[in-house]
Amino acid sequence: MRWGYRVFHLELKHPFGISRSSITTQRTLIVSLEQDEIQGIGEATENAYYDVSIEKMTTRLEQIGDKISNYKMDTPEDFWNYLLPLLRDLPFLHCAIDEAAWDLYGKMKKMPTHRIWGLDPYASLPVSNFTIALDDIDVMKDKIAEQPWPLYKIKLGTPGDIDIIEALRSVTDVPFRVDANAAWTADESIRMSHLLKKLNVEFIEQPMPADAWDEMKEVYAKSALPVIADESCRGLADVSRCQGRFDGINIKLVKAGGLTPARNMILEAKKLGLKTMVGCMTESSVGISAIAQLLPYLDYVDMDGALLLKRDIADGVQVTEQGIEWREDRWGNGVRLVPDA
């Protein structure tokens, strides 16, 4: 199997701020796999919070290149397990390779990935929220006016969080989700839940630091709103730990290591009665189209990453305020790089 990669700088329409950082450009890695003259592509962004850089991913990819070259694709699951000893500490790169493997495999089978899993892409599907990043309140209000949407995720984690939500309520009455990105204490989380419930907020994502497992038991018991794990839930082993601490989990493909483990996490969460969500990074339609393959499994989804870019480098599944526009005329993940990318 042949492999390759390209690095892109994705320029954002607006600065993207959360409780711990703000960016205007996102570097991303596109990995390609080719077998029998058929090519698949996958994506992973770099991320300082998880200590993942483009340089770290490309160096490792070149180190394991011979292992990939000597492998003949059977199933993406087998390929994922084959690479696990080499990539256990670098799930972001594993994700890009796994997305490319499913894209390749679907093309080899002449089927979209979701069809391989027996999923109905026209069943009742969750609508993606549109994310309003932290900024000056007037700027956040302008972003809502610029992009009308039926559901917003609002990034929080400041001393003025309630002021932000109240101000945004002056420009729209559609449901909000809020994401504190681990910025609150237990007392703050509980207090905020009661205030936010009155402001038509649907749920709170990751209110506390990822390792605050004991405190989350209290928050879960006393919160007026559902709480969804993000930074606290990276892989399959974390899913059962979230039971009794969170109402659901937000899976990021890069955290988990790709579609293969994310699908297993979803199935495990459903067994435990947890709500399931998949979220995105500020990534191109390569990663977003991979997320879309999981939609029929999900209760919630956050897949607006490509909408936040000035220019997308890929053409794939389209995210709209009405829902998803599939590329059923394409196999695999239904995505390809645009000619001038």
CATH of the domain at 190: 3.20.20.120
Helix, strand, or coil (residue 167): helix
Q: What is the pLDDT along the chain (341 residues), one digit of tens a residue?
A: 999 999 999 999 998 988 888 899 999 999 999 999 999 999 999 999 999 999 999 999 999 999 999 999 999 999 999 999 999 999 999 999 999 999 999 999 999 999 999 999 988 899 999 999 999 999 999 999 999 999 999 999 999 999 999 999 999 999 999 999 999 999 999 999 999 999 999 999 999 999 999 999 999 999 999 999 999 999 999 999 999 999 999 999 999 999 999 999 999 999 999 999 999 999 999 999 999 999 999 999 999 999 999 999 999 999 999 999 998 789 999 999 999 88
Contact 317, 327 (CB under 8 A): yes
Last residue of a domain, one of 83, 113, 143: 113
Total domains, the chain: 2
Last residue of a domain, one of 50, 78, 113: 113
String of DSSP letters for 247-301: SEEEEEHHHHTSHHHHHHHHHHHHHTT-EEEEE--S--HHHHHHHHTTGGG-SEE
Single pTM value for the model: 0.96
Task: Give the pLDDT of residue 120.
Answer: 94
Phi, psi of 80 (to 5 degrees): -60, -45
Helix (H) or strand (E) holding 155: strand 152-155
Phi, psi of 85 (to 5 degrees): -60, -25
The answer to whether the Cα torsion of 320, 322, 327, 333 is positive or negative is positive
CA distance 250 to 7: 27
Last residue of a domain, one of 73, 90, 113: 113
Contact 37, 98 (CB under 8 A): no
Domain around 240: 116-337
Max Cα distance, the chain (Å) = 59
- Both tokens of 312, joined, read 């997308």
